[in-house]
């Protein structure tokens, strides 16, 4: 079958989103900016969810390239193996919303570049893999960028026990998703369903904050 080359206009896509989400909700989503830090199992699915909602602006940040061992749970394809994750993910998102405003940065986040890289976005997703990195960004953002909203994750390895994955409010501007304990180790790995559950919690919390709009 031929590819559909009849691409809808930006206005048509916005109208379809309003029809599904209501005009008032879509108005808020359209003006929100979100940074996704880490584009693995969590970040790639968070980005897909928010992009499907027609988020105003997405900032995709990761230093990694797509690897074969990622494909059990991350939103990438065979043809993207070896590509930097930010631009590979950007491609995936533009396939269903060609007018999204997406900034990509193929870089490792550290205490030295966080302030600069996260300056523009109100909402920040911590979607890292390594616990030291999770702690680093969480401490930095809460300490130095108190006006931001941070939604992080800890504990989503293995399978089953869906209801142990939850969202907790830790501070007025910090929410943590996951079961808090299930770590990736030699006995249990990261698998698509549970990682996607946790990613959905994060995206859903971000969406709630955007629509509640207490900024």
154: DSSP letter: -
**Residue 66 engages other proteins in binding (rule: CB under 8 A):** no
Structure tokens at 210: 């955007």
Interatomic CA distance for residues 100 and 105, integer angstroms: 16
Q: How far is the CB of 34 from other proteins (least distance, A)?
A: 17
**Residue 43 engages other proteins in binding (rule: CB under 8 A):** yes
Q: How far is the CB of 45 from other proteins (least distance, A)?
A: 11
**Residue 86 engages other proteins in binding (rule: CB under 8 A):** no
**Residue 26 engages other proteins in binding (rule: CB under 8 A):** no
Structure tokens at 181: 């304990």
Nearer Cβ to other proteins (30/184): 184
Pick the binder of other proteins from 171, 193, 208, 213 (CB under 8 A).
171
**Residue 195 engages other proteins in binding (rule: CB under 8 A):** yes
Nearer Cβ to other proteins (7/170): 170
Compute the C-alpha angle 131/92/2, nearest 5°: 155
45: DSSP letter: H
Closest C-alpha among 108, 79, 107 to residue 95:
79
Closest C-alpha among 117, 155, 157 to residue 134:
155
**Which segment (51-59, 79-87, 90-98, 123-131) binds other proteins by CB under 8 A?**
123-131
Interatomic CA distance for residues 153 and 168, integer angstroms: 10
Residues near other proteins, by CB under 8 A: 38, 40-43, 127-132, 134-136, 138-139, 142-143, 153-157, 170-172, 174, 176, 180-185, 190, 195
């Amino acid at each position: 079958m031929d590819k559909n080359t009849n691409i809808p206009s930006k206005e048509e896509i916005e109208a379809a989103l309003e029809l599904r989400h209501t005009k008032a909700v879509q108005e808020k989503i359209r003006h929100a900016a979100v940074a996704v830090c880490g584009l693995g199992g969590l970040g790639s699915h968070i980005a897909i969810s928010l992009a499907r909602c027609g988020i105003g602006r997405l900032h995709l940040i990761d230093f990694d390239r797509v690897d074969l061992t990622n494909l059990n749970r991350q939103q990438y394809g065979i043809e993207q193996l070896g590509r930097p994750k930010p631009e590979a993910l950007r491609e995936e998102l533009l396939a269903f919303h060609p007018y999204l405003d997406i900034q990509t940065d193929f870089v490792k986040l550290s205490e030295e570049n966080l302030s600069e890289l996260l300056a523009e976005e109100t909402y920040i997703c911590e979607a890292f893999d390594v616990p030291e990195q999770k702690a680093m960004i969480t401490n930095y953002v809460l300490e130095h960028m108190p006006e931001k909203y941070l939604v992080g994750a800890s504990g989503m390895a293995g399978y089953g026990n869906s209801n142990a994955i939850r969202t907790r409010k830790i501070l007025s501007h910090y929410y943590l998703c996951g079961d808090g304990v299930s770590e990736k180790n030699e006995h249990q790995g990261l698998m698509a369903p549970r990682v996607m559950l946790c990613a959905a919690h994060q995206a859903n919390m971000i969406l709630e904050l955007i629509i509640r709009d207490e900024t």
